[in-house]
Amino acid sequence: MLYPQRLTQFTKEHADAVAAILCGVLLFLGWFALHVGFLGWALLLLPAAYVIGGYESAREGLMTLFKEKELDVDLLMIVAALGAACLGLWRREYYLIVDGATLILIFAISGVLEGYAMGRTERSIRSLMSLTQDTARVLRLGREEVVPISELFVGDEIVVKPGELIPTDAVIVSGYSTINQAAITGESLPVEKTVGEEVFAGTLNGYGALQIKVHLPPESSLIQRVIRLVEQAQESAPPSQQFIEGFERGYARFIVVAGLLLAILPPFVLGWNWEITIYRALTFLVVASPCALMASIMPTLLSGIANGARQGILFKNGAQLEMMGKVRAIAFDKTGTLTTGELRVFTVMPTAEYSQADVLRVAAAVESFSEHPIGNAIVQAATDLDWVKAVEVQAIPGQGIVGIISNQQVIVGNAAFVQQYVTNLPGELKDAALVLEQEGKTVVWVARLKQVLGLIAIADWVRAEAAGAIARLRKLGVEEIVMLTGDNEGTAHSVAQAVGVKRVYAELLPEDKLDVIRRLQQQYDIVAMVGDGINDAPALAQASVGIAMGKAGTDVALDTADIVLMADRLEKIEVAMRLGKRAQAIVKQNIAFALSFIVLLLVGNFLLSINLPIGVIGHEGSTVLVTLNGLRLLKNYEL
């Protein structure tokens, strides 16, 4: 059902945009016709602008009125615009019809901007769905049958070939392989799995064929739980949004009620005649129309969004730009966010008889035949070296790889594997390996028959700018910074120490990350989450502000997040926060100015008896001024 929904959303978004454009064109043509004296044409074009531009607002306002028994700003805008039109026809001051059409155009444009922010949930869920297989290869009566995932039952045995996605959560009953779980758990290295261990739907099988048994219904799989979590988190409205909606309705209700009272009471209380009373009441609706209030926010936020885009920061909606200025706590994913997400050689430690280049040459000679990420990292590190390719290469899953170089057998692998071929491992290297492993590095030993050449430590490298970015965020006033990861405790604390994060949550599943974000929100209210993987999607959706890494980020992380760092530069988070703080300050200035000007115009309307043209000039002038003030955020300040 997602595709018909998406098509409907697509059609509505573009219909709103076309309506706003037509409203603007008709408004301009009507104004021009009125200006050059073609009154008949003006009275045809301007009402058309009213109908085309105001239809959606009128429909939503009336639906709110009749279904929810509430007044909102949409309906107030229509009343104010029609009031201006009626005054214009009544007093033959036709420019007032232009003013009413202008009010409608402003709201139509606002509706278009809000419309394009819709549909993120559908895109996010569709990206998650792409990770799930449609079918599975099931063993039944000794034969393989391809069946839909929906027809799997607990107890079914499935065959998964090398390089295939795991179709559903299951337990391995036969076989051995490495499983790339980064999309689900965030682990930086493929995990070795054997009989009795659980595998997750949406993870990628490595080099070994597996036979797995379904132990949970497919709808209860981890990836399906992630999908449901994203849906739930995105459907829940934050308190600030609820407050804004309540304020708009309360304001509209107050203005409409006040306008009705002003249209009825003055003849009885103040002795005004009915013409003056209606004139003042309609003037009240025009000058009290919240156009300046609405313009107080949107131009400012759009300017901030444009400024951010020039600096590689994609804000998906204006509300999140303002929210960035209020962030009190930030949670960082580890793999692909604080680290590069790519395995590299961290260090090479040779024995006394050999050099680092010797160790890399021998390791690369056999690892060049391997497709394992660790082997690829070693070969990449040895790119500038010359080596003779090994022959008779044989990989032993989960242990290492052996081969022949110049008629000598060479061994590359973990300590237990290498010790099958050499008498003892050098004591100083064993101590160094222990320290490296405690820091979360993967240690690969390199040896010839009965002789150790050295060791190579492999690691997911910490981003060079990470420590500085986190330090600047603290100076900016962020009260709490934590790290969330699916990796083990050792690796997590090693990275956290390198970047200056003191609070670490390790070995987390996606739902665990979501729980941490919720606890942080209870304590700090406004919480940002920075991540790049599918396993981060629920937390990104739940966070007050979700921030995704643009280059490293998966599609679902990018769709779910509110902000995307296009160049994967962590220091841009500080820029986004400073933009948010400036936007927040300018919005407050604009709101204060808009409300003050409305009050001033209202006082002028009833105490100084200003005429409607002056009220319109004041109303439109205040709208222009707050808009220009918001456009100041387009300027590239030193952030």
Q: Give the confidence band of 521 by pLDDT, cuts at 50, 70, 90.
A: very high
Joined tokens for residue 517: 């974000």
Q: Give the confidence band of 180 by pLDDT, cuts at 50, 70, 90.
A: confident
Q: 139, exposed or middle or buried, with CB in 10 Å at 0-12, 13-18, 19+? A: middle
Same domain, 353 and 453: yes
Question: What average pLDDT does this structure show over 303-318?
Answer: 75
Q: What is the pLDDT of residues 144-178, one digit of tens each?
A: 889 998 888 899 999 999 888 888 889 999 998 88
Contact, 203 vs 184, CB < 8 A?
yes
Within-domain flag for 71: no
Q: Among 156, 333, 559, 562, which one carries the catalytic annotation?
A: 333
Residue 225 scores a pLDDT above 90: no
Question: What average pLDDT does this structure show over 391-418?
Answer: 89
Same domain, 322 and 471: yes
**What is the distance between the alpha carbons of residues 146 and 276, in angstroms, rounded to a whole number?**
81
Within-domain flag for 139: yes
Q: What's the number of domains the chain is made of?
A: 3
Contact, 500 vs 471, CB < 8 A?
yes
What does the pLDDT read at residue 227? Answer: 63
Per DSSP, the residues of 354-401 read S-HHHHHHHHHHHHTT--SHHHHHHHHHTTTS--PPPEEEEEETTTEE
Q: What is the pLDDT of residues 616-625, one digit of tens each?
A: 667 667 777 8
Q: Which amino acid, one-letter code, is at 436?
A: L
Instruction: List Cβ neighbours of 218 (8 Å cut-off, separation of 6 or more).
Output: 149, 150, 152, 168, 169, 201, 224
The more confidently predicted of residues 370 and 226 is 370
Range of 140's domain? 131-230
Q: Give the confidence band of 558 by pLDDT, cuts at 50, 70, 90.
A: low
Model pTM score: 0.63
Q: Give the confidence band of 13 by pLDDT, cuts at 50, 70, 90.
A: low
Q: 268, exposed or middle or buried, with CB in 10 Å at 0-12, 13-18, 19+? A: exposed
Same domain, 457 and 468: no
| Average pLDDT of every residue of the chain | 80
**What is the distance between the alpha carbons of residues 77 and 90, in angstroms, rounded to a whole number?**
20
Instruction: List Cβ neighbours of 465 (8 Å cut-off, separation of 6 or more).
Output: 569, 570, 571
Q: Give the confidence band of 356 by pLDDT, cuts at 50, 70, 90.
A: very high
Looking up residue 206, the CATH number of its domain turns out to be 2.70.150.10
Q: Residues 389, 391, 395, CA angle at the centre, nearest 5°?
A: 100
Joined tokens for residue 545: 């502000």
Q: Give the confidence band of 9 by pLDDT, cuts at 50, 70, 90.
A: very low
Q: Give the confidence band of 351 by pLDDT, cuts at 50, 70, 90.
A: very high
Question: What average pLDDT does this structure show over 3-29?
Answer: 71
Same domain, 475 and 588: yes
Helix, strand, coil abundance in the chain, percent, nearest 5: 55, 20, 25
- Which secondary structure element, helix H or strand E, spans residue 168, and what is its range? none
In the residue annotation, 134 being an active-site residue is answered as: no
Q: Which of 440, 461, 482 delimits the end of a domain?
A: 461
Looking up residue 578, the CATH number of its domain turns out to be 3.40.50.1000
Q: What is the pLDDT of residues 369-388, one digit of tens each?
A: 887 778 889 999 998 888 88
Handedness of CA 191, 197, 202, 205 (dihedral sign): positive
Per DSSP, the residues of 396-427 read ETTTEEEEEETTEEEEEE-HHHHTTTSS---H
What does the pLDDT read at residue 639? Answer: 46
Q: How far is CA 184 from CA 216, 420, 554, 615, in A?
A: 17, 35, 11, 60
Neighbours of 40 (CB within 10 A): 8
The more confidently predicted of residues 88 and 394 is 394
Same domain, 554 and 473: yes
Same domain, 483 and 622: yes
Q: What is the pLDDT of residues 17-56, one digit of tens each?
A: 888 899 989 989 998 988 888 888 888 999 999 999 888 8
